[in-house]
Structure 1
Amino acid sequence: MLVAERYERILQTVEEKGSVRVTELSEQFGVTEETIRRDLDHLEKERKIKRSHGGAVSVKNDKTETPYSEREVINVEEKNKIAERALDFIEENDRIILDASSTAWYMAKGLPDIPLIVLTNSMKVSMELSEKQNIQVISTGGILSPRSLSFVGPLAEYGIHMYHVDKVFFSCQGVHGAKGLSDSNELQAHVKQKMVEAGDKVHLLADHSKFNVQSFSRIATWDNIHVFITDELAKEEKYLLTEKEVDVITLYDH
């Protein structure tokens, strides 16, 4: 296969899946991981993709809010496992916030029917929890965002501001060791800011494809995050966050 043809097919794969790992591409094209890294570096220089830890993400996802139907099928295995690990932090009678991320929805699916109060701006989370008798669900209300099936805007922000919770669980599009957390959609970023402010303990849930990505709208610095649950993280990045007093939990240690 010609190098130019491999570039084209790598780009197609990244855009179709939203994100991809070096190991996956190496197996797909039958070349070394070092070759794939050089290919990704080349494509990033041409601004066709964005490099992330262990792979690459589509630049299209950084410009606009990704539809929920697309987020549901990206890195499903990793998100499910991150959600399962996050459930370990929930106890009976907790008051928690779940955002409108697909990972939070996986958490909602896995939540046992125990006494809880859940505040959310997600229609999907609300519907998932509606059949669990012991869980009281409070919806923020607000302007419905059809792409994310979530509520945003001043009313949603005010709805969160009115409450205080024990624990916050949220995700975002950009996770950067130096720049903090961000999202491509300004309205979503504002809602997540209020969520972070509302909780005693804040848990960030994000898979490897989000790391070293800086999106348009800032959400918070690492000073506001207590626990970061991810699938994998390089040792130097884990050390950096530990220095910032963030409890980093990785599913697959290097």
Structure 2
Amino acid sequence: MVIDKGRMSVADLAKMTGVSEVTIRQDLNLLEKESYLRRTHGFAVPLDSEDVETRMMNNFALKRELASFAASLVLPGETVFIENGSSNALLARTLAEQPDITIITVSSYIAHLLKEMPAEVILLGGIYQKKSESMVGPLTRQYIQQVHFSKAFIGIDGWQAATGFTGRDMMRADVVNAVLEKECEAIALSDSSKFGVTHAYPLGPMTKFSRVITDDGLAAEQQAQLERSGLKVNIVKRP
């Protein structure tokens, strides 16, 4: 049920199975321990959930700190591209409080999140990928070529020294690569859990990125490898 629905609340699972919420929580703890699913606040989600809100709730305080640091790099009057992902959504929400910032995104989730905020938002079109609430495909690539921005904040799914940055979704990786073809400062924004992991689709080459923002869970050797690749690494302390 969790895999089919994308996420299920403890209350709904208790109702559907006819047992108490206490029992459901115990069962979910066991299933999480055995790597069948992941627990978030009041919900069970698949291990690789594409749901932005679900991912945002995982390590929320840390992602808020990462977003806050990333926002400090954006100057008044700048136009920035913000890709999909939970840390990026929090970054967009922080930046959108400034009326002189223009945010370009392919994420309909981010656009909806900012609908009451003063910043100008440009949502690029394309094929609507329902699970990730993101636009993908050749139309999106064309739209990216028609707009200009000084910084691009990119979500990653994995990084290894041998492979560089990688993504787990081919269509979204293609959108990122279209952004990286632009003349802009590309910044990877991610918590440290993605480092040391490899996925199928390359984001890059690495030389297209200029900076990484992550937390102090990043191993010292990984930081050294990133810096040897020419990237500036900003470490944010875990709250």
TM-score normalised by L of structure 2: 0.77
Distance 1:90 1:98, change over 3 A: same
Taking the aligned partners of 1:60 and 1:252, their CA distance within structure 2 comes to 25
Which amino acid in 2 is paired with 1:68? V
1:186 and 2:196 are equivalent in the alignment: no
Q: Is the 8 A contact 1:167 1:199 kept in 2?
A: no
Aligned to 1:225: 209
Q: 1:25 corresponds to which residue?
A: none
- 1:133-156 Cα deviation digits (max 9, x unpaired): 3x2211111111111111111111
Distance in 2 between residues matched to 1:222 and 1:175, nearest whole Å: 10
User: What is the match of residue 31 of structure 1?
Assistant: none
User: Helix, strand or coil: the match of 1:226?
Assistant: strand
1:149 alignment partner in structure 2: 133
1:122 correspondence with 2:131: no
**Aligned counterparts of 1:177 and 1:10: Cα–Cα separation in 2:** 29
RMSD: 2.3
Find the aligned partners of 1:242 and 1:184 in 2 and give their Cα distance: 24
Give runs of aligned pairs for residues 1-254 of structure 1, distance below 5 A.
Answer: 11-12=33-34, 15-17=37-39, 61=48, 66-111=50-95, 112-133=97-118, 135-232=119-216, 233-252=218-237
How far apart are residue 69 of structure 1 and its match?
3.9
Query: Does the aligned pair in 1 maintain the 2:189–2:212 contact within 8 Å?
Result: yes
**Runs of 4+ displaced beyond 6 Å:** none
**Larger RCO (alpha carbons 8 Å, 6+ apart):** 1
Aligned length in residues: 203
- Sequence identity of aligned pairs in percent? 23
Gapped regions of structure 2 (runs ≥ 5):
1-29
TM-score, normalising length: structure 1: 0.73
State whether residues 163 and 198 of structure 1, in contact with CA within 8 Å, keep that contact through their aligned partners in structure 2.
no
Q: Which amino acid aligns with 1:186?
A: M
Which segment is superposed worse, 96-105 or 214-223?
214-223
Stretches of structure 1 lacking an aligned partner (at least 5 in a row): 1-7, 19-57
